[in-house]
């Protein structure tokens, strides 16, 4: 409840309005129910008994209504019956109107709470470090935004609605029952612990089973996402049967557990219904004996009103047991959502972070070390200075730490030892958002979005002009092929840019970097997956960018970085060589070996 109350707190006025309308709805229901016995007595008086004698008990509202009907009886039973029908109709109309208004308030509350929760989850997903995603299944993360939120709304929020309505109704009904007959009501309350014990016995395992159910659902989502992404590989290796069998096995386990959970949830309602009927039978036996003794202050008409009031209390009591079982089931979703929201944000701005206004003199890696997991060092004692306006190329075998250096510069991760300095200031002293605004990235795995070409080039710059978009495309050698698209810059490129070739996607990625006019450019093997023609076009685009920028280039094809101001050779996370292309060739070391290997190929 504390999790849900946190999201309900901003809408306290609506919560109060919801409770107020529920109270009014219950009050009008009680007014109608309590007056029925007196109506019967008035309309069909016993011989020798005055027709309009008010009952000794009942609520003040019931007595006031009876006095009104005593006055109406003077017009005759037939006309009084018409007035009676109209008044009952009005009471029920008011009850339904206020019931509807309470549902309207709750519908708005549920929508707003789910909206706020989903927004907070998305904002959290944007702030979490890349290391979290590296160790988590995508399907499990996506299920937090999909099935977990749906289950939270259907189980927890719906349970809160049922619980509030049930508690308000039961409190009012119970107060009226005490007013009519305290002795009979105490007899009823003595039977409640038995009902609570039985219902809790049914639902006590729901939370644990529901948590396992949500985790299995997340695994299914992850399996589906993984299968769709790798469908080409599955078909190529004729693994359709294997994939189907694996999915059927996981789905069968999920279905069995879901059946088990639903069976427990569904069992609570008929059990509470049966126990409620047992209580009604007990009331009939005990209450009838009280009426027959005649010295208990419980008249027959009040006993009828008491039974009617108790019958009205049965549905909210069933709703309360249902709400408790549903809330235990929904608690698993709350646990998973809280777990995600409480994930530590390891890369954050320091309290005294300064704005970053661009590179002035140089970037320095000072004794930088880094590891993803303790004991497995990826970078060790990296010392490197990059003057402003220079181009530094990073080469080495796979796993040597080249891309990790770029990630550290972008502050996707923080160094585990040493530090990176911008103009003598530690990287951590600047605001992350300001820092990244001055860095342009072009990666080997081009990430484009299901949007228009214009939207992808101006991504993150909603106020970019048409002239700025086209200028960036022209510098990136993308303008010509864009004009050949069916709708030019307004052409939608599909998921991940599937409607474009690899070279076209890469040039759009470069245009997206150019439009920001970044001080620092990072290229992570931007041409390694391209054919010769596309590599030439992309390389021309890169040359435009490198002319007036500070660049750090991870190179797979060494022919593309021969003109770099400095080439750094990495092996197993250490710098083993550094120099220009010709200097490194004269050393006849690791760089020379790499060049010879590519020349041989």
The whole-number pLDDT of residue 312 equals 83
Residue 129 has pLDDT above 90, yes or no: no
* Local confidence band at 105 (pLDDT 50, 70, 90 cut-offs): very high
- Tell me the pLDDT tens digit for each residue of 447-505: 888 889 999 898 888 888 899 999 888 888 888 889 998 899 999 888 777 788 877 88
Residue 374: give its domain's CATH number: 3.40.50.300
Mean pLDDT, to the nearest integer, of 127-139? Answer: 77
Q: Does pLDDT of 87 surpass 50?
A: yes
31-44 residue pLDDT tens:
777 666 556 555 55
- Where does 206-356 have alpha helices with state H? 206-229, 231-236, 240-293, 300-341
DSSP 376: E
Instruction: Please state, in angstroms and as integers, the Cα–Cα distance from residue 415 to each residue in 395, 406, 407, 410, following that order.
Output: 21, 12, 10, 11
pLDDT at 282 over 70: yes
Within a domain: 221: yes
Tell me which of 85-94, 210-219, 463-472, 529-538 is least confident. 529-538
pLDDT digits (tens, 9 = 90+) for 530-580: 566 666 666 666 666 666 678 898 877 777 788 888 999 999 889 999 999
* Any domain includes 123: yes
Quick one: 135 and 9 in the same domain? yes
- Residue 209 contacts residue 260 (beta carbons within 8 Å): yes
What does the pLDDT average to over 54-65? Answer: 48
- Summarised one tens digit per residue, pLDDT across range 324-376 is 777 777 787 888 888 888 888 888 888 888 988 888 889 999 999 998 887 78
String of b and e for 94-120 (b: at least 16 CB within 10 Å)? bbeebbebbbebbeebbeebbeebeee
Structural domain boundaries, residue 245: 2-341
The domain boundary, picked from 283, 309, 341, lies at 341
Residue 56 lies in a domain: yes
Considering the domain architecture, whether residues 114 and 238 belong to the same structural domain is answered as: yes
In this structure, the answer to whether residues 337 and 373 fall within a common structural domain is: no
Domain annotation covers residue 154: yes
Q: How confident is the model at residue 61 (pLDDT cuts 50, 70, 90)?
A: very low
The pLDDT of residue 394 is 92
Domain identity same for 209 and 285:
yes
Report pLDDT for 41. 57
Same domain, 403 and 309: no
Mark which of 341, 372, 404 sits at the end of a domain.
341
The reported pLDDT for the residue numbered 207 is 61
For the stretch 363-385, what's the b/e string if a residue is b when 16 or more beta carbons lie within 10 angstroms of its beta carbon?
Answer: bbbeebebbeeeeebbbbebebe
Q: Is residue 356 part of a domain?
A: no
The reported pLDDT for the residue numbered 126 is 84
Which candidate, 436, 435, 437, 462, places its Cα nearest to that of 451? 462
> What is d(CA 273, CA 209) in angstroms, rounded to the nearest whole number?
24
Confidence label for 102 from pLDDT (cuts 50, 70 and 90): very high
Which of 87, 34, 29 has the alpha carbon at shortest distance from 57? 34
Find where tokens 């985790």 sit. Answer: 215
pLDDT single digits (tens) 335-344: 888 888 888 8
pLDDT digits (tens, 9 = 90+) for 377-410: 889 999 999 998 888 999 988 888 888 899 899 8
pLDDT tens digits for range 149-203: 888 888 888 888 888 898 898 889 888 888 888 888 888 777 767 766 676 666 6
Give the angle 395-401-405 at the CA atoms, nearest 5°. 90
Q: Are 535 and 558 within 8 A, CB to CB?
A: no
State pTM to two decimals. Answer: 0.73
Same domain flag for 270 and 387? no
Residue with tokens 């009103």: 305
Output the pLDDT for position 97: 93
pLDDT for 52: 42
The residue from 341, 375, 396 where one domain ends is 341
Q: Residue 416 has which token pair?
A: 């585990």
Judged against a pLDDT cut of 70, whether residue 55 lies above it is answered with no
Same domain, residue pair 85 and 231: yes
CA–CA dist 408, 130 (Å, integer)? 11
Same domain, 373 and 294: no
Average pLDDT over residues 513-541: 72
Long-range contacts of 542-548 (CB under 8 A, 24+ apart): 542/442, 542/510, 544/475, 544/476, 544/514, 545/440, 545/475, 545/510, 545/513, 545/514, 545/521, 546/391, 546/521, 548/389
What pLDDT does 526 receive? 63
Question: Any idea what the CATH number is for the domain that residue 42 is in?
Answer: 1.20.1560.10
Residue 482 and residue 390 share a domain: yes
Indicate if 331 and 376 belong to the same structural domain. no
pLDDT value for 85: 73
Note the pLDDT of residue 49.
42
Confidence class for position 48, pLDDT limits 50, 70, 90: very low
Number of structural domains the chain divides into: 2
Q: Determine the pLDDT at residue 306.
A: 80
In a domain, 346, yes or no: no
Q: Do 376 and 491 reside in the same domain of the chain?
A: yes
Residues 184 and 72 in one domain: yes
Q: Is 348 part of any domain?
A: no
Confidence of residue 287 (pLDDT cuts 50, 70, 90): confident
User: Could you give the percent of the chain with pLDDT greater than 70?
Assistant: 82
Q: What sign does the dihedral 328-333-337-340 (CA atoms) show?
A: positive
* pLDDT score, position 601: 47
- 352 occurs within a structural domain: no
122-131, 136-145, 430-439, 452-461, range with the lowest pLDDT:
136-145
The confidence score (pLDDT) of residue 182 equals 84
What is the pLDDT of the chain when averaged over all its residues?
Answer: 80
pLDDT the model gives residue 297 = 64
């Amino acid at each position: 409840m504390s999790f849900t109350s946190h999201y309900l707190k901003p809408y306290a006025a609506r919560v109060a309005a919801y409770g107020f309308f529920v109270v009014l709805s219950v009050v009008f229901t009680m007014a109608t129910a309590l007056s029925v016995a007196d109506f019967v007595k008035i309309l069909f008086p016993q011989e020798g008994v005055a027709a309009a004698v008010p009952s000794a008990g009942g609520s003040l509202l019931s007595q006031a209504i009876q006095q009104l009907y005593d006055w109406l009886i003077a017009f005759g039973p037939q006309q009084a019956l018409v007035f009676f029908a109209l008044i009952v109709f009005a009471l029920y109309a008011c009850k339904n109107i206020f019931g509807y208004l309470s549902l309207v308030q709750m519908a708005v509350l549920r929508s707003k709470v789910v909206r706020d929760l989903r927004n907070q989850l998305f904002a959290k997903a944007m702030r979490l470090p890349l290391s979290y995603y590296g160790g988590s299944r995508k399907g499990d993360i996506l299920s937090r935004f999909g099935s977990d939120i749906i289950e939270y709304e259907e189980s927890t929020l719906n349970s809160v609605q049922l619980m509030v309505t049930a508690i308000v109704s039961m409190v009012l009904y119970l107060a009226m029952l005490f007013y009519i007959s305290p002795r009979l009501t105490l007899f009823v309350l003595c039977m409640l612990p038995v009902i609570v014990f039985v219902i809790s016995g049914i639902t006590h395992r729901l939370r644990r089973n529901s948590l396992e159910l949500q985790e299995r659902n997340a695994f299914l989502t992850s399996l589906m996402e993984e299968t769709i992404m790798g469908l080409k590989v599955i078909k190529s290796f004729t693994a359709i049967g294997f994939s189907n069998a694996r999915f059927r096995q996981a789905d069968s386990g999920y279905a069995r557990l879901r059946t088990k959970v639903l069976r427990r949830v569904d069992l609570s309602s008929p059990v509470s219904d049966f126990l409620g009927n047992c209580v009604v039978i007990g009331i009939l036996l005990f209450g009838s004996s009280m009426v027959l003794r005649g010295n208990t202050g419980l008249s027959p008409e009040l006993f009828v009103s008491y039974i009617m009031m108790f019958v009205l209390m049965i549905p909210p009591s069933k709703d309360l047991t249902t709400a408790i079982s549903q809330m235990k089931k929904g608690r698993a979703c709350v646990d998973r959502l809280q777990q995600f929201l409480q994930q530590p944000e390891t890369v954050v701005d320091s309290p005294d972070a300064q704005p970053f206004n661009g590179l002035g003199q140089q970037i320095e890696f000072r004794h930088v070390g880094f590891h993803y997991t303790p004991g497995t060092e990826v970078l060790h004692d990296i010392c490197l200075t990059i003057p402003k306006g220079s181009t530094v190329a990073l080469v080495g075998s796979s796993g040597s730490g080249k891309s990790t250096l770029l990630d550290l510069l972008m502050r996707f991760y923080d160094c585990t030892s040493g530090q990176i300095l911008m103009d003598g200031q530690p990287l951590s002293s600047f605001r992350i958002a300001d820092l990244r605004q001055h860095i342009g990235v072009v990666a080997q795995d081009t990430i484009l979005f299901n949007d228009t070409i214009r939207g992808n080039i101006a991504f993150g710059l909603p106020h970019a002009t048409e002239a700025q978009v086209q200028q960036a495309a022209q510098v990136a050698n993308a303008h010509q092929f864009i004009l050949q698209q069916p709708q030019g810059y307004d052409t939608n490129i599909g998921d991940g840019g599937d409607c474009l070739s690899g070279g076209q996607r890469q040039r759009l990625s470069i245009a997206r970097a150019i439009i920001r006019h970044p001080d620092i450019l990072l290229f992570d093997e931007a041409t390694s997956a391209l054919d010769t023609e596309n590599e030439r076009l992309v390389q021309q685009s890169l040359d435009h960018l490198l002319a007036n920028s500070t660049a750090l280039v991870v190179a797979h094809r060494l022919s593309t970085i021969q003109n770099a101001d400095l080439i750094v050779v990495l092996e197993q996370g250490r710098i083993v060589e550094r120099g220009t292309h010709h200097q490194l060739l004269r050393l006849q070391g690791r760089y020379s070996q790499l060049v010879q290997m590519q020349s041989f190929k």
